[in-house]
Structure 1
Amino acid sequence: MINLLRKNVKLVFLPFFNQYYAEDNVKNATPTEKKTDTTESQETGWDRVRKVFEVDEFGNVSHEAHTVLQSAAISCFIGFIYGGVVLSRGAYMEFMRNNEATTFKTHLDAKRKLQDKVTIAFGKGAAKFGWRLTLFTTSFVGIATLIQTYNEDYGIMEYVVSGGLTGFMYKFYAGPRACIVGTGLGSALGLMCGAATWSIMKFSGLSLKEARYWQYKWKETKLGMKAAYVKKKWEDDDFAIIKLHDDKMSNEGNTLDSIDEITGDTDVNNK
């Protein structure tokens, strides 16, 4: 009982001590922090979406735009390789099937015609599948990224909506039935991608901001390594130029006599 009274008496005097030692309380009340808090509270979803398309003072795009561009580049490469390999293989099989009894002048002529068929088919397949896969992937990733940026959160529904819209736009010119089928298939694909992404993020314990932060750090590390390589390359080139200059000049560059001789020769020529 006595200990309880002592504790209560101490707690009674705490507010008075807080008045005398109020300067020791740490507060995030600097002008910069106040302005930052106000900016974050007033930022809307459309403001975040507009920032996706902005470029900084060094000409770098935003992290979200960088993600979309990376997806476009990877999908373009995969589409080119897949389409080229599939159609070139079909052209090879068709050529061998249709020319079993064909007589060629030489075996080199047969190889040349086969190579022409395969090369043309590879180019057609790369162009056919490349732009389609690039368009579909870029639209899917871009729409999902914009929705996530607007909501400032990630989930499965963003991918479902993105997949449905992408499938609808992809089959828009094929008619209503094709649009419905494309929307359904795109939504199913978005559901699978969204579930996989959501599971990975939950199991890893990362939020959307943290994932973007580590993506930014990885990009900065890669740019730093590239800058260090370029700097070393320039230093090596400069060293080679200086060494070549020293080898040609030998010891003549150690004094000013050579400069005087050159100056005297120039004066004589001018006269």
Structure 2
Amino acid sequence: MSPAHAGRPGQAIQIGRDYYEGPLHICDSVTSLLAHYLDLLDRGAYEVGEGDDYIGFVADPYESGFDPELLSGGIPHDVPSGLQAVLIQVNAPRSPLDLTPLAAAHLRRLDLKRRPVTDLTPIRDLPIESLAVSLHDGDLAPLEGHRHLSSLDLATNTTIDLTPLRTAPNLHGLDLSQATVQDLTVLADFPHLRYLALTASQWASLLDENKVPPALAAARLSKRDASRTEALSWAARLGLTVGASFVISGTLTSDSETGRTQ
């Protein structure tokens, strides 16, 4: 009943422990939600679970929170104006993705890491809060001063200039571990950046120049095979008290009689 910007009182959202994508808009009201499920029942688009006490809807478009037509390799020409999230899951074809049809939507989340994009201009005026994009031969100029962008996960095929992002007032999270950056030291001019993910060499470049963002609260070393020594050394350079490290390993087992986990 207390919606965010451009939301509507009474809208249905999906949020909770088992929903890892964050709050997702489902529909404009509980009435619409119930009408949708009644329609699925009328069409027989459901399965009855064991014991006849559970019904699972088949191909439920509300199950994932995304428009099913956009979970594909491309974007249709007619995009619904109320669309709030797009996730491109298909890798092929590898031709650049045209974002022009999205200009009419009301996007809050856009995940395009699996398809290259050359021009971000069509999404300049959209209220996107979370953006994951693989930018090929393009630049970040369209994101300059973007008022809503709070999280950016960026991959590039060429060297990119981060300067336009300095004027994005709500940018709090940045992942550049798959990007080639022209000058990482400009991150020191990002006063609101709270989360930063970089490779080991990127972190070294930033730390050597003492240009860590001033408000940083969480950092990630994007190196899956980093040794414990490397990780501790990196953490120490960030000013953290690392102390003695320890590793705990074991196996969780469940007692079928008591239901307890040991």
TM-score relative to the length of structure 2: 0.22
**Structure with a larger share of its residues in strand:** 2
**Structure with a larger share of its residues in helix:** 1
| Structure exhibiting the larger radius of gyration computed from Cα positions | 1
Q: Which structure carries more relative contact order (alpha carbon 8 Å, separation 6+)?
A: 1
